[in-house]
Chain A
Amino acid sequence: MSRSLELAEAALRATSGDEAEVVVHAERSGVARFAASIVHQPTLIENSVVRVRVARDGKVGWAATNRVDGESLTNVAQRAAEAADSARPDPDFPGFAPPAQYPDVVGYDEETAELDAADQARLAGAAIEAAGDIGLYGIYTTGVTEVAVTSSTGLAAEQQTTDAVCLCLAADTEASGWAERTSWRAADVDPAVPAREAAETAARTRGGVEIEPGMYRAVLEPVAVGDLVRWFSYDSMGAQGYLEERSYFCGRIGEQAFDPKVSIADDALDAANLPRPFDFEGTPKQRFPMIEDGVIKGVVWDRATAARAEDGHVSTGHATPDAWRFFGPLPSAYSMAGGDAESSAELAELVGDGIYVTRLHYLGIVDPRGGVLTGMTRDGTFRIREGKIAEPLVNLRFTVAMSDVLGEVPGLTRDRLLVNLNDLYEERFAHAALVPAIATAKFHISGAGSGPGL
């Protein structure tokens, strides 16, 4: 039994007979953040957070602490009970998750778990060295997280995961390029590889020029695809947005809304993603298709939204960590099917005349129901001419309907990249998107920004 599960069991005992659930989220991590090829913000974190949810007569209250002595666990249980007493009965409260059989998943690597501050600094140094003369900006980080869930239903679940992420921006005042690698095994993340890729992309971005706003055909690299899918999902692929009628999927389930080559699932069981056996309510993970062959199949659910729907839905295992509770259930192991193209260069041939986008920046949801997003391109935007990647462009503002972007997809790469989606806020929750590069027939450029570079 892990220390986190022991803590969870101890906190559950402290609830003294209440209907209760305890989630322990523990982390030991190091982030070597570098800029201008110098590690300037190194951060080491060790912490365990205990969250107690108590239900009394259908009234539910939460309390949390990172103090883990016996007295503090009693105190947090009492505060959760007081919160429950102050609530109103929730007729839709579904109760806590029952014990379950969990799928066997990988996702923990002892060698990754053993990496310490000196290793993280050394591996950041390897990225910096590989970038050569151009400045490197980004992070190298590894972490171990434990999640344990216990409840008065008899549920007792624990998982230990590792992750390693290397994010690289190679840049000077006139050029910038991006590349990244993520895995649950640090051995799969050679920091020199994204550093070299970023430097190579940056070298091609000098002298970026503007283009006129308008609709363009485009190649989107996996990093850009992952960001678009994630932002589209916030309102559209979770049950909360669906029940509250903000989702693009409202009224469209079963509809052929996208190109038949587009299939997007959430798959935390896939060893090529960041695997997890259960969600933050202790419900088993499963592969869940949101879009299959261009047809909208459904949204992901947790126990509360499934109960609220009152139409037979059950949790699909997508209860989120506490920091995301505001959004309701969401995917966190996105998996987009690849296609036949051997490379992004082959996608450029399919596009013929258009633009090539490496990375996006600061996305915003303009119209959730319409699936309209805006944002900027950065760190590797190019013109595509006669099927070849051509001159560099400045950063471009895009305002796109996802029904356009995914509506006609001339091709996708066979290879997929695991794109980091974890911005490392709150407790560490590694999550990612396993996505290909795609070609799209419609990508609306609505303005131009600054040139590449710092």
Chain B
Amino acid sequence: MKALAEAAVDAALGAGASYADARAVSLRRQYVITKNGQVDDLSDSESEGIGVRVLVDGAWGFAGAGRLDESGARDAALRAVDFARAAPGRHRTNLAPVEAHTGEYRTPLQRDPFDVPLTEKVDLCLRAEDGMRHEGVKVTVAMIRAQREHKVLVSSEGTNVEQEIYECGGGIDAYASSEDVSQIRSYPSQHSGVSGQGGWEYVEQLGLDREAPRVGEEAAALLRAPVAPSGRTTIVLSPDQAVMQVHESVGHPTELDRVYGTEAAYAGTSFLSPGDLGSLRYGSEHMNITADSTTPLGLGTFGFDDEGVAAAREAIVERGVLRGFLSSRETAAQLGAGRGGSMRADGWARMPLVRMTNLHLEPGEGSFEDLLADIDDGLYLDTNKSWSIDDKRLNFQFGTQVAWEIKNGKLGRMLRDATYTGVTPVFWGKLDAVAGPEEWMLFGLTNCGKGQPGQEAHVSHGAAHARFRDVEVGVSA
């Protein structure tokens, strides 16, 4: 793969590119999904190819070829140069300097998930499904996934790095329904569960079969639960929902390509501007957000991003003030600050974009019970069910699978169909407590969409329980 990537870069430079990089990628994915006691999907897919990115007279070009051979590499390089040469507009692209790394990175793991027999995975899914069976539960689903990505990045500036990254994950869902109500309860997170970077041991520690009875019972109980109230109240978000809040209202708006408008037509822009760095009050003093591409088990953990920038841990928000953006070499150069380090591509056929890596809400102190103790009347909201946020990442509305009322510092009745809404910096300004490190949990999502053509990024977020005062809840049609 290295030789092919080097040949592609040479071909691009020979054709007139002033800069070129080539990523040779070999990807394998496996899914086991069972539904209602039957195997619904048992699939094993592989994809390999090379993506070549070039700069010609300041214009980008990118081409991907779905084969790892010399002609594919050269062909992709020449097509990328042709496309860049044809691109209309006045181009001026500068890249922040990068140290030319030549290292390797491999996911630390104990057991290769592809060595685990498929039958063992099917058995685990079916056991978990059995545990969810409960009166009122009409559909049970269990899923396990594994992924291995082997990639080599070579650039005309001397970067030559090789990485082998393993992911594993799983989750369970119970769908309950009555005559006119339909509810879902999931573990460890919404829909497709969670994933982490690691071996089979990651799936084992999830305890899908252990948690299944609770998930089934809660799904059935939701059918009888009252609808969550409307009004303004104090809410506590579970770590699972808090990471969704971080993802949508901090992660995306701090992507510097959105700030500069290059995602405007599709994913949208950002309410932030470059001049906000170091001064904008994003939230309360309890709000500390870190981007960390070194987090153990994180889906956004790597040795080097897809521009060859080494992994690092960096502050995004400190004590409520914006301290950093997620950036590429190009956007860092535009800003005149930062070094890139967040460029990631979805496979060989896509151009790298500014993406989240691992973005965390740092813990505060105290326990979940401590957070509740201070609330006379409020809602505890767990596990995302629906999400929507505007193109500048300001106005959001989330729904959760389940809520519990909080009365006099204690959890009360279960409630269904809970929603809450707000405006990003106003909402984060109402954060008045985050629980301590002992409650901090990491969640890995595999469905973060962006770009045209579309790309799905795999990212992780950590958070503990978080309390927000005076929030609008209960939006209905």
A263, CB-defined interface residue at 8 Å = no
Decide if B462 is an interface residue (CB 8 Å cutoff): no
Neighbour of B43 across the interface among A59, A61, A363, A448, CB < 8 A: A61
A138 and B89 in contact (CB under 8 A), knowing A42-B60, A366-B399?
A: no
Q: How far is the CB of B48 from chain A (nearest CB, A)?
A: 6
- Residue among A33, A35, A92, A251 with most chain B CB within 10 A: A33
The answer to whether A376 has its CB under 8 Å from any CB of chain B is yes
- Given contacts A44-B80, A245-B177, A395-B391, whether A83 and B264 have CB atoms under 8 Å apart is no
* CB closest residue in chain A, given B398: A364
Which chain B residues lie closer than 8 Å to A90 at the CB level?
A: 38-39
Q: Name the residue of chain B whose CB is nearest to the CB of A135.
A: B261
Interface: B65 (CB within 8 A): yes
Also in contact, A46 and B452, with CB within 8 A (given A245-B138, A365-B386, A366-B419): no
Point out the residues of chain B lying under 8 angstroms from A63, CB to CB.
43-45
Query: Which residues of the partner chain B approach A32 to less than 8 Å between Cβ atoms?
Result: 83, 87
Q: Which of chain B's residues has its CB closest to A72's CB? A: B46
B298 part of interface (Cβ distance < 8 Å): no
**Option from A39, A137, A246 in Cβ contact (under 8 Å) with B175:** A246
Q: Distance (Å) between the CB of A423 and the closest chain B CB?
A: 5
**How far is A426 from B45 in the complex, measured between Cα atoms in Å?**
13
Which residues in B have their C-beta under 8 angstroms from that of A76?
46
Shortest CB distance B461–A (Å): 19
A42-B60, A83-B118, A139-B265 given; A325·B66 CB < 8 A: no
If A83-B43, A137-B261, A401-B477 touch, whether A121 touches B390 (CB-CB below 8 Å) is: no
Residue A169 is within 8 A (CB to CB) of chain B in the complex: yes
Q: Is B308 engaged at the interface, CB distance under 8 Å to the other chain?
A: no
Within the complex, the shortest CB–CB distance from B358 to chain A, in Å, comes to: 23
Give the contacting residue for A47; candidates B66, B80, B138, B475; CB below 8 A. Answer: B66
> Please, what's the 1-or-0 string for B41-77, where 1 marks a CB less than 8 Å from any CB in chain A?
1111111110000000001111111110000000010
**Does A395 lie within 8 Å of B66, measured CB to CB?**
no
B182 at the interface (CB under 8 A from A): yes
Q: List CB contacts (< 8 Å) of B376-399 with chain A.
A: 386-392, 394-395, 397, 399
In the complex, chain A residues 399-454 whose Cβ is within 8 Å of any chain B Cβ = 399-401, 404, 423-426, 428, 444, 446-450, 454
Contacting A46 at CB < 8 Å: which of B64, B264, B353? B64
Q: Does B262 contact A (CB under 8 A)?
A: yes
Are A395 and B138 in contact, CB atoms less than 8 angstroms apart?
Answer: no
Q: Which residues of B contact A224 (CB under 8 A)?
A: none
- The reply to whether A128 and B392 contact each other, CB–CB distance below 8 Å, is no
Cα distance, A428 to B453, chains bound together (Å): 9
Q: How many Å from the CB of A314 to the closest CB on chain B?
A: 20
Inter-subunit contact A121/B87 (CB<8 Å): yes
A34–B423 alpha-carbon span in the complex (Å):
29
- Could you tell me the distance in whole angstroms from the C-beta of A451 to the nearest C-beta in chain B? 9
Nearest chain A CB to B176 CB, angstrom units: 9
B265 engages A167 (CB within 8 Å): yes
Asked whether A399 and B122 contact (CB < 8 A) given A46-B65, A87-B42, the answer is: no
- Is the Cβ of B88 less than 8 Å from the Cβ of A449? no
Contact partner, B42, options A43, A62, A167, A370, Cβ 8 Å: A62
B91 contacts partner chain A, Cβ-Cβ < 8 Å: yes
Is B265 a contact of A65 with CB atoms below 8 Å? no
Within A363-418, the residues touching B (CB, 8 Å) are 363-370, 372, 374-376, 378, 395, 397, 399-401, 404
A428 to B, closest residue via Cβ? B453
Tell me the chain A residues, 100-127 only, with Cβ under 8 Å from chain B.
117-118, 120-122, 124-125
**Bound form: Cα–Cα A64–B30 in Å:** 10
CB–CB A61/B477 < 8 A: no
Contacts A83-B118, A449-B395 given; indicate if A124 touches B43 (C-beta within 8 A): no
Tally of chain A residues near chain B (CB < 8 A) = 96
Report the separation of the CA atoms of residues A424 and B449 in the bound assembly, to the nearest whole angstrom.
11
Cβ–Cβ < 8 Å partners of B48 in chain A: 66-67
Taking the closest CB of chain B, its distance from the CB of A207, in whole angstroms, is 17
Whole-angstrom distance between the alpha carbons of A41 and B192 in the complex? Answer: 30
Q: Is B405 an interface residue (CB 8 A)?
A: no
Q: Mark A119-150, 1 if CB is under 8 A from B, else 0.
A: 01110110010000001011100000000000
**A425-B388 in contact (CB<8A):** no
Collect the chain A residues with CB atoms within 8 Å of residue B19's CB: none
Main secondary structure of the interface of A (DSSP, over half): strand
CB distance from B28 to the nearest CB of A (A): 10
| Among B84, B89, B271, B386: residue with most chain A CB under 10 A | B89
Tell me if B269 counts as interface (CB < 8 A to partner A). Answer: yes
In the assembly, what is the distance between CA of A87 and CA of B263, in Å? 42
CB proximity of B166 to chain A, nearest CB, Å: 18
Distance from A86 Cβ to chain B, minimum over Cβ atoms (Å): 3
Q: At the interface, yes or no: B456 with Cβ under 8 Å from chain A?
A: yes
CA distance A382 to B65 in the complex (A): 45
B351 & A86 in contact (Cβ 8 Å cutoff):
no
Q: Does A49 contact B (CB under 8 A)?
A: yes
Question: Taking the complex as formed, is A171 at the interface, i.e. its CB lies under 8 A from any CB of chain B?
Answer: yes
Whether B63 contacts A44 by the Cβ 8 Å rule is yes
CA distance A184 to B475 in the complex (A): 41
**Is there a chain A Cβ closer than 8 Å to B205's Cβ?**
no
Contacts A43-B62, A376-B395 known; A425 to B86 CB distance under 8 Å? no
Closest chain-B Cβ to A374's Cβ sits at a distance in Å of: 5
Given contacts A64-B45, A83-B43, A450-B390, whether A124 and B88 have CB atoms under 8 Å apart is yes
B265 touching A35, Cβ below 8 Å: yes
Interface string of B176-195 (1 = CB under 8 A from A): 01011110000000000000
Measured CA separation A120–B62 after assembly (Å): 13
Interface status of A311 (Cβ within 8 A of chain B): no
Tell me if A36 is interfacial: C-beta within 8 Å of chain B.
yes
Mark out the residues of chain A between 258 and 283 whose CB falls within 8 Å of any chain B CB in the assembled complex.
none
| B79–A44 touching, CB < 8 Å | yes
Residue of A42, A47, A118, A376 touching B349 (CB-CB under 8 A):
A47
Whether B453 and A86, one on each chain, are in contact in the complex, defined by CB atoms closer than 8 angstroms, is no
Interface centre among A66, A168, A369 (most CB of B within 10 A): A66
List of A residues within 8 angstroms of B60 by Cβ: 39-42
Residues of A contacting B61 in the complex (Cβ-Cβ under 8 angstroms): 42
A118-B82 contact in complex given A128-B88, A245-B138, A365-B386, C-beta closer than 8 Å? yes
Judged by a CB distance under 8 angstroms, whether B207 is at the interface is: no
Is B110's beta carbon under 8 Å from chain A?
Answer: no
Closest to A426 in B: B454
Is B199 part of the binding interface, using a Cβ–Cβ cutoff of 8 Å? no
Task: Knowing A43-B351, A47-B66, A400-B477, say if A423 contacts B265 (CB, 8 Å).
Answer: no
A-B contacts besides A36-B261, A41-B451, 17 pairs, CB < 8 Å: A40-B60, A40-B89, A42-B83, A43-B63, A44-B76, A45-B63, A47-B64, A47-B65, A49-B47, A90-B39, A120-B86, A171-B264, A325-B41, A374-B475, A395-B395, A424-B453, A449-B394
30 contacts between A and B (CB under 8 A): A34-B89, A36-B261, A38-B87, A38-B88, A39-B60, A41-B451, A41-B452, A42-B87, A43-B349, A44-B76, A44-B80, A45-B66, A45-B349, A62-B41, A62-B42, A66-B67, A90-B39, A121-B88, A124-B87, A137-B264, A168-B265, A244-B177, A245-B175, A245-B182, A361-B390, A369-B180, A369-B181, A370-B477, A376-B389, A450-B395
Q: Identify the B interface with A (CB < 8 A).
A: 38-39, 41-49, 59-67, 76, 79-80, 82-84, 86-91, 117-119, 121-122, 126, 138-139, 175, 177, 179-182, 261-266, 268-269, 271, 349-351, 353, 386-392, 394-395, 397, 399, 417, 419, 421, 423, 449, 451-456, 475-477
6 interchain residue pairs of minimum CB distance: A38-B89, A125-B88, A86-B118, A449-B395, A47-B66, A424-B453
Which of A's residues lie within 8 Å of B, judged by CB?
30-49, 51, 59-67, 76, 79-80, 82-84, 86-88, 90-92, 117-118, 120-122, 124-125, 128, 135, 137-139, 167-169, 171, 244-246, 251, 325, 361-370, 372, 374-376, 378, 395, 397, 399-401, 404, 423-426, 428, 444, 446-450, 454
